Copies of this chain bind each other. A is one copy, B any other.
Amino acid sequence: MTEETERDALQLQDFLTFRLAKVQARLNAQAIRILKDTAGISLSQWRVIAVVGAGGENTVLAADIKRVMGYDKGLFSRTLHRLIEQGFVTSQTDTGDQRRQALALTETGKALFDRTLPIMQARQHSLRSALEQDELDALCSGLEKLEAEVDRQGQAA
């Protein structure tokens, strides 16, 4: 019985972060597969295209995207260059501040965006449809509180 309770206690304490990690890994894998099959791009590439595409005709600053996505500098830089190489995005250094890059989608990039957005939106919708509205709210609220607690702990350390 001691072993059982020990084991249960451990599984229990590990429940939250481990479960979160597992679910997230599966959602991630699903998104990666969909994007690879339907658009031939990576998840980080899609996120950049999505944000630039959401800007419509306006150009979007690279630094803003990086900030919004919370991505690493290095990862973002490489992702962006791959997108430029593949001809989905154009980059123009700001005339005022030459460190800044203003991004826009090419015609090919726009076509990819228009084709891929409904697919990804449909996925989001079907995921959301598994939950009632109040469950969805509770999930988001719980995630926010967890995130705030990680911040709080990070500050303390």
The chain A residues found within 8 Å of chain B, CB to CB, are 2-3, 6-7, 10-11, 13-28, 30-31, 47, 50-51, 53-58, 70, 117, 120-121, 123-131, 135-136, 138-150, 152-154
Q: How many copies make up the complex?
A: 2
Residue from the list B23, B50, B53, B56 in contact with A146, Cβ < 8 A? B23
Give the interface SS of chain A, mostly helix, strand, loop or mixed: helix
User: Considering the chains assembled together, what is the distance between the CA atoms of A145 and B128 in angstroms?
Assistant: 10
Q: Which residues of B contact A21 (CB under 8 A)?
A: 24, 27-28
A18: nearest residue on chain B (CB-CB)?
B47
Q: Which of B11, B22, B131, B152 contacts A142 (CB 8 A)?
A: B131
User: In the bound complex, do residue A16 and residue B124 qualify as a contact, i.e. CB atoms below 8 Å apart?
Assistant: yes
Contact of A6 among B28, B56, B120, B135 (CB under 8 A): B56
